[in-house]
Amino acid sequence: MAKVLILLANGFEEIEALAVTDVLRRAEIETVLAGLCEGYTASASNICIIPDTTIDRVNASEFSMILLPGGQPGSDNLKADSRVGRLLRQFNNAEKLIGSIGSATTVLAAADLIAGKRVTCNHSCKDKLNGGIYEDKAVVTDGNIITSQGPGTAISFALAIVARLCDNHKAASVSSAMLIRDVTREHRIWDDRLFNSTIQALVGALEMKDSFIQGHARRVTEYALSIGSKLNLPEAEMRDLYLGSILHDIGKIGTEEKVLNKPESLNLREESLIREHPLKGTLFIAGIENLNQILPTILHHHERWDGNGYPGRLKGEEIPLHARIVSIADAFDAMMSNRSYRDGIDQQSALSELLALKGTQFDPLIVDVFIECINDSPFEMKDFSYYF
């Protein structure tokens, strides 16, 4: 039968220690709390508990796993005690499970147990992992190391341990009895890739209206993301840039097909209808949960650096960054694509046109960055669903 040792030092985080203990005992896993000294151990909030035993009385061979709750100064007190380091290495050498939550992952780092391993911890500690590879996830498992981020992830952490020491059925049973929402199951029903596929299907429906823009949205997205990557945009911004790029022309769903496919020059009425698509796209997306952040990209991707664009006549850095990026990617692909009213031009001519319009139509810095991207490597179509 599995048996878990939890070490407690003065200053431990209550939820990380006691919530995990509670879940493990509900799963009928024998769980022993061991203090670093005799008597009570005080938590970070000065809640005092009397552990089951002390670290000096522990026989490591009796346990399947050792677990460290975080908290401050609890984690520092664990780290400063040489007995803790020796015990951790003893468990690791025996290939037994080792767990930490919150700042306690730094104790594993100090014992040189996580170099090259994927781990997580409290965000404030991610630069103290001594070679550990930080992942921004609630629970991360790599080999015999199981880590978690903090108090808010304690239940998920404990259930992951139950699944590892017992099985998934036991973890599900405990979770159900505690009335915990099965977030994993919800994600199986409505997962990120399904959402992404729905968006791409919507873009495909738009492209069916205009045979001359087949693949345009995906190419614009690829170009825009290459710029975002070169600018070192964080992952959340890259996701939003992806969404704004792939949906930048979605407002054209509300534009007459005969206008979109007209082989002659547009008259004033028709040009006005075309210029409505950023606003129509914005209205189309407005109110959809989790998409409001991309509205400025859709609305302003036809603004100009000199202020003569539409619909807001924004100028320079008044134009949202993502809209400036999409504007260049959109124009570049449009110039090289055949349209009902003209043939496309070659890549070098399109790049020359971008350079000619630097500082008037386009953000000069973004143009330079995009040209670097083009020169770095050829483009290949990708599945961008990993941005979700």
Burial class of 275 by CB neighbour count within 10 A (0 to 12, 13 to 18, 19+): middle
Predicted local confidence at residue 377, as pLDDT:
58
pLDDT 10s digits, 12-32: 999 999 999 999 999 999 999
How far, in Å, CA of 139 to CA of 67, rounded? 14
Q: Please give the CATH topology (third level) of the domain spanning 192-387.
A: Hypothetical protein af1432 (1.10.3210)
User: What residues does each domain of the chain span?
Assistant: 3-187, 192-387
The overall average pLDDT reported for the chain is: 88
42-46, 143-147, 192-196, 282-286: the lowest-pLDDT one: 192-196
Q: Give strand ranges (E) for the chain.
A: 3-8, 30-35, 41-42, 48-49, 53-54, 65-68, 97-101, 118-119, 133-134, 139-142, 145-148
Residue 385 in this model has a pLDDT that exceeds 50:
no
Which residue would you say has higher pLDDT here, 350 or 261?
A: 350
Predicted local confidence at residue 182, as pLDDT:
56
Polymer length in residues for the chain: 388
CATH 3.40.50.880 assigned to 3-187:
yes
